[in-house]
Amino acid sequence: MSFTALQAMKAYGQAVNTAKVGGDSEEAGAAKVDFGAMVKDAISSVSTDTTRAEQMTIASASGKVDLIDVVSAVNEAEMTLETVIAVRDEVIKAYQDILRMPI
């Protein structure tokens, strides 16, 4: 399964819609979303897509697969990786912003 930016947004929207709202005054209105599971799924998706692209490339070298299928698989893997990298960069940026906050 490919993890594109659109799928990430859709998964986030579904997670927010189905999340339980906390009962404490501190947590009132805050949705509980398992960000770790979402990141784990994204990394798993990158691994799956790159493995598929490698297999398609090997199959193309032996003449079993058309070149367009190889290009599509490689492009899909690249887009998935770029999405994960973009999310990682934003998380790092947010962390750095938090570190710069005055106490």
The per-residue b/e assignment along 73-94, b for 16 or more CB within 10 angstroms, e otherwise, is: bbebbeebbebbeebeeeeeee
User: Based on the structure, what is the number of domains in the chain?
Assistant: 1
**Can you give the pTM of this predicted structure?**
0.60
Query: Rounded to whole angstroms, how far apart are CA atoms 38 and 8?
Result: 8
Say if residue 10's pLDDT is above 80: no
pLDDT tens string 18-69: 554 444 444 444 556 787 888 888 888 888 999 999 999 999 999 899 999 9
Per the structure, the complete domain to which residue 42 belongs is given by: 5-100
